Amino acid sequence: MQANSDYSSLLKKLSLKFNDLQLLQEAFTHKSFVNEVADPAIKSNERLEFLGDAVLELVVTKHLFQDYPEREEGELTAMRSALVRGKNLSKVARKLELGQYLILSKGEYNSKGQNKGYILANLVEAVIGAIYLDQGMSKASEFILKNIYSDLSEILKIKGHIDSKTRFQEVSQEKLGVTPDYKLIKEFGPDHSKEFTMGVFLNGDLIEEGTDSSKQKAEQKAALRALEKKGWI
């Protein structure tokens, strides 16, 4: 099922003119629809997603390398990961309202597939792949810089590029010769919506706590707060 097959407003929003609209339609065709109609002439967006993923990584890598000459390889890698990970790409898809153009099976449509983060993230990569094939690297790069790379300043501001647990462990071992330990402080809420508070400890001493909907996320928050408290960030 497809809510919108008129791409004119989308192309205007993206400042694009596609030579091959069939290619753009392929970018919006989810594999569930292909499996449902069983028509060999209809292709899913998986191959375009594969291509777009590579184009996205190359463009982001190139500009990070040029724009941040003072940053080490490890931090550049973390910055790139924050930009190209599914959570950020799905946010881009929602901002551009790409979900309304998705071609889905009836079942996937009824289960709100057009709002699912991983489907939207894959869609962004497929659109990039389609732009690259139809318009070339220059236009694909322009799309990436305008809609994805532009988020970097906000990501850096909120330290969204930092794997806090890894960083805290590295610095703790370097400065103190100690490996951090994480323990559950408390959990609360109903089973379908639990919250966990995790503490990060050094030599048995509680350094900081973090609370989130999973233990892993709570540990990341605790580690980030510990880094800030210690002045290691």
Question: CA 77, CA 219: separation in Å to the nearest integer?
Answer: 21
* Interior angle at CA 73, CA 93 and CA 67, nearest 5: 60
Out of 53, 134, 208, 219, which one is annotated catalytic?
53
Is residue 125 annotated as a catalytic residue, yes or no?
yes
Burial 2-15 (b: 16+ CB within 10 A, else e): beeeebeebeeebe
Burial 97-128 (b: 16+ CB within 10 A, else e): ebbebbbbbeebbeeebbebeebbbbbbbbbb
Out of 49, 125, 134, 208, which one is annotated catalytic?
125
Is residue 151 annotated as a catalytic residue, yes or no?
no
Given a contact cutoff of 8 angstroms between Cβ atoms, the answer to whether 35 and 105 are in contact is: yes
**Closest-CA residue to 163 (of 82, 57, 65):** 82
Q: What strands, in cross-sheet order, belong to the sheet with 205-212?
A: 181-188, 195-202, 205-212
Beta bridge partners of 202: 205
- Write out the catalytic residue numbers: 53, 125
